[in-house]
Homo-oligomer: A and B are copies of this chain.
């Protein structure tokens, strides 16, 4: 057994529902891998043998169109899981995973997850709850891309970084560089720049590289959330 693995797994609620026996087996077969920036962990529709936990760095999940454009599905960091839903998709990955900066991931055997979930209803319920939460977030994302304009979509992204504080002034730091934020929001970098400038005209905020100060959270809420079916603080995060 590997103490780094045990430590990683212990931090994640999902694993509290595994039987001790399976956890032990998972730990024995777990491995830690290092991925330099740009490294592909797997490609969309590859045969899936493992699921993963990010230990450090950032992992981008995406699919690619025939003409080579990336459609970003998610960008994950420490303690987030990926690849686990492959067990419901004929054991193939439903997206490509790429390290967007030097990253360390824990790689775990998918067959053990599958057999555990087939026999453990508590774990199945936990996984379904998490899938239902994700479904609501995706509904929200579809809505955002349709009903919010580009500055409002940036506003929404920023509000989600405030940890739902209702303080007047909040300092936040973009989790990754602006180009990546743009693609996470489904925007071209130029659109993102223009939209960020527009947002700065609409509300009082200071942007310095990745550091952002929002002078009055309620002002941003008012600008952003009127075009949303959810109210701040956002209930799809829970």
Contacts and interface: CB of A to CB of B under 8 A. Distances in A.
At the interface, is chain A mostly helix, strand, loop or mixed?
A: helix
Range, interface on chain A: 35 or more
Contact of A88 (B128, B139, B231): B128
B231 A66 contact: yes
A131 B127 CA distance: 10
Contacts of A89: 132-133, 136
Interface in A123-154: 124-125, 127-129, 131-136, 138-139, 141-143, 145-147
A229 interface: yes
A35 interface: no
A188 B176 CA distance: 34
A69 B147 contact: yes
Nearest to A114: B125
Contacts of A208: none
Contact of A136 (B94, B146, B147): B94
A51 B66 CA distance: 39
Contacts of A136: 89, 94
Q: A44, A95, A147 — which one has the most chain B CB atoms within 10 A of its CB?
A: A147
B69 A139 contact: no
A121 interface: yes
A73 B137 CA distance: 12
Contacts of A197: none
Contacts of A128: 88, 117, 124, 127-128, 131
A30 B105 CA distance: 48
3 closest A-B pairs (Cβ-Cβ)?
A: A63-B229, A146-B186, A88-B132
Given A64-B229, A66-B229, A89-B136, 12 more contacts: A65-B147, A69-B227, A71-B147, A73-B139, A85-B132, A94-B135, A117-B128, A118-B121, A121-B124, A124-B125, A138-B142, A145-B186
14 contacts: A66-B226, A66-B228, A69-B147, A71-B142, A89-B133, A117-B125, A117-B128, A118-B125, A119-B121, A120-B121, A128-B128, A128-B131, A138-B138, A142-B145
